[in-house]
Amino acid sequence: MPKRKWLFFILFSVALTISLVFGGWRSDRVLGQSPQYQGKKFVMVTSADYPPYEFRDTASGSADIVGFDVDIANYIAKELGFQLDIKDTDFSGIIPAVQSGRADFAMAGMTPTAERRQNVDFSNIYYEAKNTIVAQKGSNLTTPESLAGKKVGVQLGSTQEKAAKEIKGANLVALNKTGEIIQEVKSNRIDAAIIEDTIAKGFIANNPDLEFNTVPNTGEAGSAIAFAKGSPLVNDFNRVLAEMKQNGEIDKLVTKWFENNGKTETPASSSSLAFAKITPRIPFIIKGILVTLQFTAISAVLGFIWGTILSLFKISTFKPLVWFATAYTSIFRGTPLLLQIALVYYATPQLIGYNIPALLAGVITFTLNSGAYISETIRGGILAVDKGQREAALSLGVPYRPMMLDIILPQAIKNILPALVNESIALLKDSALVSTIGVTDLLRRAQIVGAEQYIYFEPLLFAGAIYYLMVMSLTWGGYALERRLQRSS
């Protein structure tokens, strides 16, 4: 081959290699992919009770979270090349989850207020909505001035709550969920509610006895993505958001989720219950029974064991054990259970670096709390056993441990069985509190269905009927066990 051809061949090969390497790099940059994110999993925390931003499509029994924010997050994940894991919690727990490292970022239609910026970093605004006043038809509550002297519902920790504080003479009622606020308006316990227009449209479409009127935004407005302070993700997320605005992707999603909001369902009648709307979603709600029973059973067994140990500490002659058990019982009976759940769930990652699962956090909290109450019940049962039993055992040379396990405790438990059954019933009902940290138990699933369908009373009534059946089953089981023990005595 002539030298010129060799030279041409070599130059062509080099040029081809350079074009492939840098062309591939350029292609990745155009798509937004970042090699440092490839194969990584990032956790997004949200509050999946805020359609159309984020909610669960429960018609098929699925627990998948969908919505406007979710589509944006999936688009960003695809562009940057990471895997997306979505976690659900109450709105008030979103920022603590990001701060504690339980989540890498948060999307929940959240506005970057000055107060929030002190705790987390935010992306650029990706969508801006308007506030509305929702009230009964014909109430003439259409302007902020008309709300003076009225009870006004807002979501706890939302920008609507802050905006409502600027309304002179309004009496604010802060609740956890938008569905609760709408139900309060329908029940005439509050006069009006202030919520976003995109959310209001869905509720109005399904509650024809209500109306809404848009009011001008004051102060901060718009939705942004929240990150932990100093997060390296902010710039890359902002770059993809800018691309989505330029290529029209944001507009497509706005059309998809907002323009047809609430039109896929038949409007609910204002004069009757709409149980037909939750019928296709009953399998989704029923799946929460297993989670509730699993949680209750584990907590009850561990709580009984821990309560027994604490009761033995309290009757011990070793004073430090008595002091410990007494102080422990005082602390766990003297503080709210909901506070204890929040502390275990959110503080554990910060204190010991372990990202504790929500269900495990609930089991630990209920075990510790239930043990404090059960210990007093068991202690009373032990002291109620005739002293002659103890004296007879000691006179026969029976060691302390076998005496307690084989003689004293069986009689004590038989005497306190009704109280233990009552504690188990209370534990079953109180288990609904784990829904506040995102556990999809029975109550949480009912709330999810209500949020998705823009109704509130019907799914909760259905969940209440299931709770009642479970409590009655536990009660009858306790009666049967009590009668059997009486016959064996």
DSSP codes, 54-122: BEE--TTS---EESHHHHHHHHHHHHHT-EEEEEE--GGGHHHHHHTTS-SEE-SS----HHHHTTSEE
Span 262-274, average pLDDT: 46
Q: What is the CATH number of domain 131-220?
A: 3.40.190.10
- Token readout for 464 is 């209440």
pLDDT for residue 488 is more than 70: no
What Å distances lie between residue 80 and 66, 75, 233, CA to CA? 20, 9, 10
Region 342-370: mean pLDDT is 87
Quote the tokens at residue 177: 């969920």
Mean pLDDT of the chain: 82
Question: Is residue 301 over pLDDT 60?
Answer: yes
Task: Dig out the tokens for 305 from the structure.
Answer: 């064991």
The pLDDT value recorded for residue 186 is 87
Q: Alpha-carbon distance 459 to 223, whole Å?
A: 29
**Two tokens at 329?**
């019982």
Q: Cβ(225)–Cβ(105) under 8 Å?
A: yes
* Residue 126: alpha-carbon gap to chain centroid: 24
> Average pLDDT, stretch 234-263?
84
Q: What is the average pLDDT across 18-40?
A: 51
- Rounded-to-integer distance, Cα 265 and Cα 55, Å: 15
Mean pLDDT for 162-171 is 86
Q: What are phi and psi of 44, to 5 degrees?
A: -110, 130
Task: Answer whether residue 6 shows pLDDT above 60.
Answer: no
Question: Rounded mean pLDDT of 366-387?
Answer: 88
Alpha-carbon dihedral sign for residues 319, 324, 329, 331 = positive
- Whether the per-residue pLDDT at 120 is higher than 60: the answer is yes
Q: Angle at which helices 358-384 and 319-334 pack, to 10 degrees? A: 120
Q: Torsion over CA of 192, 198, 204 and 210, rounded to 10 degrees?
A: 20
Structure tokens at 320: 């430090």
Top-confidence residue, 289 or 201: 289
Q: Which two tokens stand for residue 58?
A: 């429960």
pLDDT of 192 strictly over 90: yes
d(C-alpha 63, C-alpha 56), whole Å? 6
Average pLDDT over residues 148-168: 85
Q: Does the pLDDT of residue 338 top 60, yes or no?
A: yes
Amino acid at 310: L
In terms of Cα–Cα distance, which of 198, 170, 154 is closest to 54?
198
Which secondary-structure segment (H or E) carries 315?
A: none
The DSSP secondary-structure symbol of 255 reads: I
Fold for the domain defined by 35-127+224-259: D-Maltodextrin-Binding Protein; domain 2 (3.40.190)
**366, pLDDT greater than 90:** yes
State how far the alpha carbon of 128 is from the alpha carbons of 73, 112, 174, in Å: 17, 11, 23
Report the greatest alpha carbon distance in the chain: 116
Residues 269-295 have pLDDT tens digits of 444 556 777 888 888 889 889 999 999
- pLDDT mean over 114-118: 89
Which residues make Cβ contacts (< 8 Å) with residue 275, sequence separation at least 6?
A: 458, 462
DSSP 367-415: HHHHHHHHHHHHHHHHHHS-HHHHHHHHHTT--HHHHIIIIIHHHHHHH
pLDDT at 203 over 90: no
Of 190, 222, 188, 210, the closest CA to residue 262 belongs to: 210
pLDDT class for 467, splitting at 50, 70, 90? very high
Q: Given pLDDT bands bounded at 50, 70 and 90, which one contains residue 36? A: confident
Average pLDDT of span 150-164: 84
pLDDT at 32: 46
User: Looking at residue 9, what is its pLDDT?
Assistant: 47
Degrees to nearest 5, angle at CA 282 with 280 and 288: 145
**Where exactly are the structural domains of the chain?**
1-31, 35-127+224-259, 131-220, 279-488
Query: 332 pLDDT exceeds 90?
Result: yes
Domain range 279-488, CATH class: mainly alpha
Same fold, 35-127+224-259 and 131-220: yes
Span 412-454, pLDDT tens digits: 888 888 888 888 899 999 888 888 887 888 988 888 888 777 7
